[in-house]
Amino acid sequence: MSFAWAKPYEPKHPAMRWLDQRLPLPRLVYNATGPGYPVPRNLNYWWNFGFLAGIFLTIQILTGITLAMWYYATADGAFGSVEHLMRDVNAGWLIRYAHMNGASFFFIVVYIHIFRGLFFGSYKAPRELVWMLGLVIYLLMMATAFMGYVLPWGQMSYWGAQVITGFFSAFPIIGEPVRQWLLGGFAPDQAALTRFFSLHYLLPFVIAGVVVLHIWALHIQGSGNPTGVDVKDEKDTLPFHPYYTAKDGWFAAAFLLVYAIVTFFAPNYLGHPDNYIQANPLATPAHIVPEWYFWPFYAILKSFTVGFILPAKLWGVLAMFSSILLLFFLPWLDKSPVRSGHYRPLFKIFFWLLVADVFVLGWAGGFAPTPFRVAVGQVASAYYFLHFLVILPWISRVETPLPLPNSITESVLGGEAAEVAPVSQKKPRRGSVATAG
C-alpha cells in the first residue's frame, strides 16, 4: 500500500487463493493489519489508543444491540424497562453497566488519542484528512452519547435534552422553530425519545463507516511516529503483524482490565445519581450537568454571560461549537514544519498548558457554579481560544525547533546505544539524540 517494500500478499492455502482471486478480502486484511502494512518501528504507547478506540466502538455496538432488545422507547416505559433489565434479566446488569461505562471509556480513549495527535502533530501534512475524519468521528460520538444518555429517561436525561436542544433557540429567528423541529414538540417527550433512540441506533454504524475512511486515509500515507520524521527505508518500519498486533493486544488487555474494574466495582462512579430518578418535567434538578466528557464544553457555554453585539447566550453557543470546529483548521493554523512536540521547545510548554486548561474547564463545568468557579471557567475559556487561534499560529512563526534525527532508525538505535554505554553522565535529550548519534 504505502511503501514499496510492503510485503505482497501470497496466499498459502489453496482455499485462500481461490477466495482471493474472486474477492480479495484476505488481501485487504493482510495489507491493512497484517504483515503487508509497514509501520514505523518507534511507536510508543500513545499509539495504542486508536486500536483501543476501535475495541470500544465494538463493545458499544455489541452491548447496545443487546440493550435494544430489552428497551422500550416510550416516555412511560423507558425507565422501567432499564430497571427490569438490571433486575430480572440474566446478566442484564452486566450488559447495561458495560454499555454505560463503555461510553465513558470510549471517550477517555478518544481524548487521549486526540491529545496524542495534538502533541505529535498528527494533523499536519500529509495527514490532514486523517485528522479531519477523526474529528467527524468525534462529533458523531458526541451526538450519539448525548442521545444515548437521554434514553433511560432519568432526570438528567430529560433535563440534559432540554438544555442541549435549547442551544438551538439561541439563534435568532430560526432557532426556536429548529428546536421544535428537532424535538418534534415544545419540550422533550415521546416524539423526541423515539427519534433519539432511532438515531442512537443508527449513528454508531455511521461512525463505523467514517472509521473505515479514517483508517483508509491513514494507510495511504502510513502511520506517523514520535519523532515526526518521515519513513525513509525498510529499516525504519516493522510489519504491523506480529509486532503491533501483539503490542496493541497486550495493551488492550491491560486497559480493559481497568474498564472491568470500574464496570464491576464502581459502575455508577462516573454517572450522576439524579439519573436514577425517573424523568419529571415538573421538577428541575438543582444542578443540571451533562456527562463528564462534556464538562469542558459546558464550562465554555456557561462562561459567556455578557452580550456584546450578539446576545450572551448566542456567544456561549457559538463558542461551544467553535471550540471543536476550530480543530478542523489546525493543519493551517500551526504551520511549523516540525511535527513532533519533542522537538518544539516552546510548543511543548503551551501544549501542557492546554492540557491543564482543559482539565480546569472540566472542573469548572462539572460542578455547581460558584462565583469563583465561574470566574476560573471564564479565564480558562479565554485561554482555550487564545491557544488555538492566536498562540499556536504565533509559535510556529517564532519558534526555533531542536535538530531532528536523520532517520527513525538512527533515533531508535542512537537511544539504545546511549543506554548501553552511558559515556556521558548526562542522559541525552530525545531531541539531541540525533546529533549525539
264 binds another protein per the rule CB under 8 A: yes
Q: Is 342 an annotated catalytic residue?
A: no
Catalytic residue among 248, 274, 357, 410: 248
Q: How far is the CB of 166 from another protein (least distance, A)?
A: 19
Residue with smaller CB distance to another protein, 73 or 319? 319
Strand partners, 237: 40
- Three-state DSSP string of 57-103: HHHHHHHHHHHHCCCCCCCCCHHHHHHHHHHHCCCHHHHHHHHHHHH
Q: Is 219 a catalytic residue?
A: yes
DSSP string over 110-138 = HHHHHHHHHHTTTTSTT-HHHHHHHHHHH
Residue 381 backbone class (left: φ over 0; alpha: ψ -120 to 50; beta: rest): alpha
**Strand-pair partners of 239:** 38
Is residue 398 part of the contact set for another protein (CB under 8 A)? no
Tell me whether residue 61 or residue 333 sits nearer to another protein (CB atom). 333
Restricted to residues 300-329, the positions that interact with another protein (CB under 8 A) are: 303-306, 308, 312, 315, 319, 322, 326, 329
Cα 228 to Cα 148: distance, rounded to the nearest angstrom: 38
Name which of 275, 321, 9 is nearest 150 in CA terms: 275
Within 333-352, the residues that bind another protein by CB under 8 A are 333
Piece in contact with another protein (CB under 8 A), picked from 108-116, 218-226, 268-276, 354-362 = 268-276
Say whether residue 263 binds another protein (CB under 8 A): yes
**Cβ neighbours around 309 below 10 Å, total:** 6
Nearer to another protein, 157 or 225 (CB): 157
Q: Are strands 38-40 and 237-239 parallel, antiparallel or unpaired?
A: antiparallel
Question: Locate cell 498562540: which residue?
Answer: 391
- With a CB cutoff of 8 Å and minimum separation 6, the contacts of 398 are 346
Cα of 333 vs its chain's centroid, Å: 21
In angstroms, rounded to a whole number, what is the distance separating the alpha carbons of residues 418 and 432?
Answer: 11
Output the smallest distance, CB 183 to another protein, in A: 25
Identify which range of 49-57, 227-235, 372-380, 399-407 contacts another protein by CB under 8 A: 372-380
By CB under 8 A, is residue 28 in contact with another protein?
no
The C-alpha atoms of residue 380 and residue 432 are separated, in whole angstroms, by 34
70 binds another protein, rule: CB under 8 A: no
Instruction: Find the part of the chain contacting another protein (CB under 8 A) among 5-13, 63-71, 86-94, 186-194.
Output: 86-94
The set of cell numbers assigned to 207 is 461512525
According to the binding rule CB under 8 A, does residue 69 interact with another protein? no
Scan for cell 477517555, then name that residue: 108
Q: Give the binding range for another protein (CB under 8 A) out of 43-51, 62-70, 118-126, 297-305.
A: 297-305
124, 200, 214, 219: which one is catalytic? 219
Report if residue 265 touches another protein, rule: CB under 8 A: yes
Size of the site for another protein (CB under 8 A): 54
Interface with another protein by CB under 8 A: which range of 20-28, 53-61, 88-96, 128-136? 88-96
d(CA 185, CA 195): 12
Interface map 117-136 toward another protein (x if CB under 8 A): --------------------
Q: Which residue from 274, 291, 357, 410 is in contact with another protein, where contact means CB under 8 A?
A: 274
Helix pair 312-325, 295-303: axis angle to 10 deg? 140
Give the active site residue among 81, 122, 157, 223: 223
Q: Is 214 one of the catalytic residues?
A: no
Whichever of 183 and 279 has its CB closer to another protein, that residue is: 279
| Closest among 41, 214, 198 to 128, alpha carbons compared | 214
- Phi then psi dihedrals of residue 344, to 5 deg: -125, 90
Q: Which of 324, 389, 369 is nearest to 134 (CA)?
A: 324
Calculate ∠ Cα 210-213-218, nearest 5°.
130
Nearer to another protein, 51 or 201 (CB): 51
Query: Is residue 83 close enough to count as binding another protein by CB under 8 A?
Result: yes
Residue 198 touches another protein, criterion: CB under 8 A? no
Closest CA to 242 of 3, 7, 4: 7
Give me the least distance between CB of 93 and another protein, in Å please.
5
Binding interface with another protein (CB under 8 A): 80, 83, 86-88, 90-91, 93-94, 97, 250, 253-254, 257, 260-261, 263-265, 267-268, 273-277, 286, 303-306, 308, 312, 315, 319, 322, 326, 329, 332-333, 371, 374-375, 378-379, 381-383, 385-386, 388-390, 393
Active site residues per annotation: 219, 223, 247-248, 291
